[in-house]
Structure 1
Amino acid sequence: MDGMWETLQTGGSSVRVRTAGLVPRPERVHLWPSVGEYPVYDAFLYHAMLADRHRNELFRDAVTRQAPGAAVLEIGCGPDLLWSLCAADAGADRVVAVESLPDSVREAEELALERAPGRVRVVAGLSTDVTLTDRADLCVAELVGCIGGSEGMARVIEDARRRLLRPGARVVPHRVRTLAAAVCLADLMPRGPGVPEALVPYVESVFDAVGGFFDLRMCVGGVGHEALRSTVDAVEDLRFNDGDCRQGGPLRLTVKRPGRVDGLLLWLDLQGRADGARLDTLAVRTSWLPVYVPFLWAEPVALGVGDVIDLRVTCDLSADGVHPDYRFAGEVRRTGGQRVDVTAESLYAGPEFRRSPLHAALFAAPEPTGPAAAAAPVAAARPR
């Protein structure tokens, strides 16, 4: 493929990442690193969420209809206090906004004094660490990842219900499903994968956040339902107001369009409130980009109509006890009786690096600088 390479430095080690163009073009298929799970937010990312009309309409409808007279808790308010201010303006009895990033806390405090003095209180820290004197009866948590639960929202809401919310408290969003279907990224990106140069710093920031190189989660922009080769099934179904948050389980996909397959595309179906409209993030352009999960096959496999991909999805907490790791294992059953084993994974952090075909194509060893360096394997760049 055409493209250049940029060198990344993390923890004293280096690796090269293949680039593709300067900036992502929304109308073309392109890759983004998934960043919502990590403390790498900056002004650009906050602006992207603030400008996301579809995302914001979903939350605004749910907050304005349920906030009047309520004690409201917002978890992860960011610097813009969007839903805390929305709740206060809608007539909430009181609002507490929790934020962990120091710069965002400072900006949020200043904004609360300017826009809602005495009506919105900002509390610094992780919601799982803070203690509040009064419990809330409405919780707003925009902690939805590009895989619905990947930012640890199930764990966060479970903790909030135990310590911070009143019995029967409502949660916004009401429901988040992560859907999956089979795709072929190699066909969607025939010139090969690459990261737009403007996004390379985010790749490096994610590596810095976890302390080393690993097969980081990659999102795909510029795709829609037309890219899918199979039926759709759910990887997660997080019903925050029903006490039923399913993560993992059986996943069955039946091929409906013949062609090559090399992985799964994961995207969201959300409801802000129980009776509210649903948002399909593969049908419209939002800041929740679909996630590509590569199968650990050397090459794409050609499948025909009626072939079935049967997987078991496991969702276990990573070492930090908050963010989940997703693993997929099973087989393809062809209509003629042949079977092909399938495995895949989408992890919060290492230890694997360049294990998948996607990551092997995206990353390479640093350029040699001498005879000894020429023989150094990429494995030397793995996290300690």
Structure 2
Amino acid sequence: MSEFPVVAKGEEQEHVGAKGGSAPFWHTVTAGGRRLRLRVKRDAALGGRPYLWPSVGEYPLYDDFLYHVMLEDEPRNKIFRDAIEARAPHARVLEVGCGPDLLWSLYAAECGARSVRAIESIPDSARRATELAAKKPQFDIEVLSGEATTVAVPERAGVCVAELVGSIGGAEGMAAVLDDVRERLLTPGAAVIPAVVGTLAAAVGLQELLEGEFAVDVDFSDYVAEVLACAGGPFDLRMCVGNVDRSALRSSEGLVEDLQLEEGVARFPAVRLDITRPGPVDGLLLWLTMRCTPDGPVLDSLETVTNWLPVYVPFDAPEPVEAAPGDVLALECAVRPAADGLHPEYTFTGALVRADGRRMPLSAHSPYAGGPFRASPLHRALFAEEA
């Protein structure tokens, strides 16, 4: 990435472009007792440009802004409403992760649910949800504060609404949580909403998409610091990419995570991604597909504007790799729990197989917390240690 003249600005070092326009600059953030410099810019998403956003859903740092974004996500809301309307009447309903607004618990009650139990792990959100439930005495809604894997309910539920869906479908630990909930809190054969969550992958060239300008909008910098703090210190955190669609892809797409949540089945298939457009490839783009009922409509986060942004996972290669039609990216996906035993970490290993048979080994890793810091070209561009 090209460098710019530096102008001191308090705790920031602002870069000014040759024409005097806005350009990336360094902003100081603190994580795990370490002061880091984060490369930021202003109005990163202006004009519909691709931009970087930290993946925050895996961590307990939801605030009013993030809750508001979800409440305003109509494509997501519609498929959840339709599934609840079909399954909640006369049923005992359990919601996992209700947030402060009790959105789906209230909707299930309005649709005629026999009773609703709502679990929320963030104490302040649970308190606000409890206060809201008390204002609706016509409904049998009880809010339970704590982790879904530890709370108990007075009776098992026949319907579970669990919006623990990440930008990588299973990133928030949904599979592990529902395995426990299914065993302890649900009736045999209970309906789960959503029913099917998948993650698709394709090859991309992020450096080209961002025109070589790796930086986070300065308004997002607090979220970067909070993710690093939740994780216990600096590491190569997941970064999402906004304002992209299938025109950004350089390959065919393949399913790398398949969560059949009603059945309790999780698969992580190997993929063969055929290069479809010539140019540099430096990582994978992962995005969500979801059905709230087994035969319901599919929400695809690369086709629909939704709060689930695609995630970029950089290859371990020091430089982008030139690829061309006829080349094939063959990868296996391995998933293991993070140190907390709940959140998954994803590793992709394989090779770019040239049309003439030559193989270039490639790998990529997407951790939940810990591990190397500034190991990928993206993270080396975004971060610098404070002197």
Instruction: Tell me: CA distance 1:23–1:188, structure 2 relative to 1, closer, same or farther (3 Å).
Output: closer
Offset at residue 26 of structure 1 (A): 7.3
Alignment of 1:326-337 (within 5 A): 326-337=346-357
Query: Aligned residues, how many?
Result: 366
Partner Cα distance (1:23, 1:179) in 2: 26
The residue aligned with 2:178 is: 157
* 1:268-347 → structure 2 map (5 Å cutoff): 268-347=288-367
| Pairs within 5 Å for 1:179-190 | 179-190=200-211
Q: Which residue of 2 aligns with 1:103?
A: 124
SS at match of 1:159: helix
Cα distance between partner residues in 2 of 1:201 and 1:243: 36
Pair 1:223-2:220 in alignment: no
Partners of 2:221 and 2:360 in 1: how far apart?
35
Deviates more, 1:329-338 or 1:108-117: 108-117
AA aligned to 1:274 is P
Tell me how far apart the structure 2 counterparts of residues 317 and 43 of structure 1 sit (CA, whole Å).
Answer: 29
Q: Judging changes above 3 Å, is the alpha-carbon distance between structure 1 residues 361 and 23 closer, same or farther for their aligned structure 2 residues? A: closer
What residue is the counterpart of 1:69 in the other structure? 90
Q: Is the 8 A contact 2:117 2:153 kept in 1?
A: no
**CA offset digits 1:300-348 (Å, max 9, x no partner):** 1111102011111100001101000100111110001221110110000
User: 1:112, 1:24 → 2: CA distance?
Assistant: 38
1:168 alignment counterpart: 189
For 1:319 and 1:208, the matched residues in 2 are separated by 15
Contact 1:214 1:353 in 2 (8 A): yes
Q: Which residues in structure 2 correspond to 1:195-214 (within 5 Å)? A: 195-214=216-235
Deviations 1:49-93 (A, max 9, x none): 000011111111111110001000000000010000010000000
Give the match's secondary structure for 1:127.
coil
- Picking from 21, 25, 31, the partner of 2:42 is 21
How far has the Cα of 1:211 moved from its partner?
1.1
The 2-side partners of 1:209 and 1:101 are apart by: 13
1:83 matched to 2:124? The reply is no
CA distance in 2, matches of 1:117, 1:272: 27
Q: Quick check: 2:33–2:233 contact (8 Å CA) kept in 1?
A: no
- Relative distance call for 1:120 and 1:311 in structure 2 (3 A) is same
2:381 maps to 361
Deviates more, 1:272-281 or 1:135-144: 272-281
Aligned-partner residue type, residue 262 of structure 1: D
Aligned-residue offset at 1:104: 0.4
| Shift, 1:208, TM fit | 0.8
Distance 1:116 1:251 in 2: 51
RMSD: 1.2
The amino acid across from 2:186 in the alignment is L
Contact 1:67-1:87 within 8 A present in 2 as well: yes
More deviation in 92-101 or 184-193? 184-193
CA distance in 1 between counterparts of 2:339 and 2:37 reads 27
Question: Cα offset for 1:242?
Answer: 2.7
Matches of 1:154 and 1:271 in 2, distance apart?
A: 15
Q: Is 1:26–1:222's contact at 8 Å kept on the other side of the alignment?
A: no
Say yes or no: does 1:250 pair with 2:270.
yes
CA contact (8 A) 1:331 1:340 kept: yes
Give deviations 1:172-223, integer Å, cap 9, x for gaps: 0010110000000011001411110110000000111111000000000000
* TM-fit CA distance, 1:35: 0.3
8 Å Cα contact 2:40/2:216 also seen in 1:
yes
Check 1:210–1:204 CA distance in 2 against 1; reply closer, same or farther (3 A cut).
Answer: same
Question: Is the 1:72–1:94 contact (alpha carbons within 8 Å) kept by the matching residues of 2?
Answer: yes
Q: Distance in 2 between matches of 1:238 and 1:10?
A: 33
1:137 and 1:166 in contact (8 A); partners too: yes
**CA distance in 2 between partners of 1:280 and 1:148 (Å):** 11
Per-residue CA shift, 1:240-293, capped at 9, x if unaligned?
A: 1233221x3312111011111110000011101122111111001100000000
Structure 1 residues 126, 280: CA separation in 2 closer, same or farther (over 3 Å shift)? same
Secondary structure of residue in 2 paired with 1:58:
helix
| Segment drifting more, 229-238 vs 14-23 | 14-23
2:52 is aligned with 1:31: yes
Cα deviation digits, residues 144-182 of structure 1 (max 9, x gap): 000000000000110011100000101000101100000
| 1:260 counterpart = 2:276 | no
8 A Cα contact 1:70 1:94, kept in partner: yes
What TM-score, normalized by structure 1, do the two folds share?
A: 0.93
Query: Would you identify which runs of 4 or more consecutive aligned residues in structure 1 move more than 6 Å?
Result: none
CA–CA distance in 2 between the matches of 1:43 and 1:23? 22
Whether the aligned pair in 1 keeps the contact of 2:252 and 2:273 (CA below 8 Å) is yes
Instruction: For structure 1, list consecutive stretches of 5 or more residues without a partner in the other structure.
Output: 369-384
When residues 115 and 302 of structure 1 are mapped into structure 2, their CA distance, relative to the original with a 3 A threshold, is same
